[in-house]
Every structure is written in structure tokens, then in C-alpha cells.
Structure 1
């Protein structure tokens, strides 16, 4: 009787193995543990996360941070008195944008992989005599900045009230007369480290 039971048990075990093989399931005794699911998708923020980046008292703006080697828009806010004349208001907005770019990303942004290459302490002034009216002059020569930082600044300025409405920005240095008009192109946004944004030298008007 014990021999018969052994035969039946072996037969049942074989049938179960065949059934599992037929379903494409390989029997294993090794536990699988792939770890916890990622807490944040790279370069993606939830609506609630985005809403917390702008303060109610400021003017809502967008700046470009770095993420996965590309420029990505994030929400910020800057202070700009509505009564200020246009030229001065442009400079105030530009300085606010610079400060926002140079600031540390929030904890949520940092977790999602956002960073910035813009150094702290940059300042901006308006046009010098004979400059085009939309000129912005930086305390550091634009071409002396890291490529990623210049791309962030150009694309942020060109897409804001700090510059004109043609998708470009005139930048120069407070210590030199030369000016260049920079454009924020799709290539600049997708590959900011491959070279400076396209630009052309211009003469003062």
C-alpha cells in the first residue's frame, strides 16, 4: 500500500510540473525582490508639486532648469512692481529670473533630477547709451559662463517679460561694449551642453 501511495505522489508531482511548464511558468524556490518602486519619475512633477513652486505675491514666471541633460521648464515667481516704467521693470524681472535660476531646486525637484548650472551672485542691468532698448547686461560676460548656464539664461530670458517678444534676447557684459542677440532654439533646449546658443553680433543703435 505504501508503494502505491508513493507512485501516486510521484505521478501527481509530475503532472503539476507538466502543467506549470505548459503555462510558461518555471518553478523556482529562489525569492525575487526587485526593491521598492521608484518614488519619483525623472523630470516629472505632479500638479501639486508644481503649484508649490510659485508664491502668491509674485508674478508667475517660468525658468529653465537642467534635467537628464536637457532644459526643462519649471514654475517660479518674481517680484515686479506694476507701476515701474517698462525699462526698469524689464531689469527687475530679469534679476528675479537670475536669482530663481541660481537658487537651489526644491526637495521635490531635486528628487526628480532637476539641477542648475547658473552661479549665484549674477546681476543684470539695463541698456547702456546707444544699446537697443531690450538689451540686458550681465555682471559676467555671457560667453564666459558655462554652456549650460548660458543656455538656461538665454532660454529663460527669451521666454519672459525681460526680453522682447521674438524669442531672442540681447545680452552683453557690464564691462564690455559688444552685444550679441541670442536665440533659444529646440536644439539649445534638448542639448544645452553641445555649444552656446546661436547668436549674432549686433551694433548699438
Structure 2
């Protein structure tokens, strides 16, 4: 082998390794802060579904639900038959329907885009107990025992629906039947909290632990 050919071999190997590293980075194996145009790379980083997917095949209206994607919660649209109107009579049916959607595991396209759900599969919701405000809803698990991401999903999905109040805030509490705190023989439910789906809750779901205002 000539001296020139021997000199070219290491250089060719270096070029190959460098190109391979670039391909791996472009395919999303290691995220970077710099956008990379890699053609058909997964959309996990953007948390965005392909435009219009599923709308032509489904006849139901689109419902917006919030799922976990990376370090935030982000909306996706699903076609779901929902109760019509926004009266107080529709609050619980709407809340139950939305909760079922949140507990449902993401579909293939949602999963490929990086979406997941933090809701416990056995979580249920009911009307408020006697003495609660009309807009109150109670979950089957205490709020402080729910994952903060799950609480953020619920609040942002319920906001701007019949499950929320006139100001699009959501009033939630834990299960009815806590300890007899007053000593009067009646079991008190955990305190209610009022939540709003603001930017902080969407981008930093861990803020849900302190975002509620006691009612």
C-alpha cells in the first residue's frame, strides 16, 4: 500500500464516524437545542400530530384533551360524542366522558408524537357532596396523592367545557367521606380547590401541587 493510500484510510474512517454521528442525532436519538432538518424524523420533540389525522374518518366533533408530552401537557384533538350544551346538568356527564378519554392510552400516532397519560386507570369522578358549590366535582383519589401531571391534564381538559365554571376554572376535591374533623358525627370531605389552566400549569405541570385555591 502506498503512503498516500495509507494516509487516506484514517481520514475516510473519521468522515464515516462523523457522518454516522450526525445521522443518529438527526433521528432523535439524542435531542439538541438546535432544530435539525432530518427529513422523516419522528415528531416527538414537537409534540404535534400530523395535521388533520383521523378527522375525515370520524363523524364525531373534535374534543380537545391534554396529554403529557415531555415536561409539559399539550392538547390533542379526538373525535368523541359528548353531551351537548354547557348547563350544570351536563357537568358530571361531560367530566366523566373527558376523564375516560384522559385515562385511555394514546393511539399509535399520539404515542409516536411523544404523548402519554399520567392518569391512574382506576380514577373516577362524581358530583360534589352536600354543601359543596354547584360547580364542584370530586375525584376518587385525594388531590395530593394524584401525580401533578395528571392533575394538570384534568384541569386543562375540563377548562372551557361544561365541567368548568363560568370563568373556565375547575373546582375539584378528593373522595367524599374523610375523617370526622368536627366531632359532630359527620364525616367531612377533603377541602375543595379551584384551578385555572394557565401557562404555568401547562408548561410546568408540577405547579399543580400548589396551583389550587381553597374554596
Paired position in structure 1 for 2:59: 56
1:118-152 deviations in whole A, cap 9, x for unaligned?
11122111233332111111111222211111111
Instruction: Note if 1:76 corresponds to 2:89.
Output: no
Kindly name which structure, 1 or 2, has the bigger radius of gyration based on alpha carbons.
1
Q: What TM-score do the two structures reach when normalised by structure 2?
A: 0.70
Instruction: Answer whether contact 2:88 2:162 (CA < 8 A) is retained.
Output: no
Paired position in structure 2 for 1:46: 50
Q: How far did residue 160 of structure 1 move? A: 2.1
Of residues 12, 18, 23, the one that matches 1:29 is: 12
Aligned residues: 174
Instruction: Answer whether contact 1:61 1:160 (CA < 8 A) is retained.
Output: no
Paired position in structure 2 for 1:12: none
Instruction: Please give the alpha-carbon distance, in whole angstroms, between the structure 2 residues aligned to 1:197 and 1:61.
Output: 27
Structure 1 residues 109 and 81 mapped into 2: Cα distance closer, same or farther (>3 Å)?
Answer: closer
Paired position in structure 2 for 1:125: 126
Instruction: Please give the alpha-carbon distance, in whole angstroms, between the structure 1 residues aligned to 2:73 and 2:82.
Output: 25
Q: What TM-score do the two structures reach when normalised by structure 1?
A: 0.73
5+ residue gaps, structure 1, are 1-27
5+ residue gaps, structure 2, are 1-10, 28-37, 177-188
SS in 1 for 2:12: coil
Q: How far did residue 66 of structure 1 move? A: 0.8
Q: How far did residue 112 of structure 1 move? A: 1.3
Q: CA RMSD in A?
A: 2.7
Structure 1 residues 55 and 118 mapped into 2: Cα distance closer, same or farther (>3 Å)?
Answer: farther
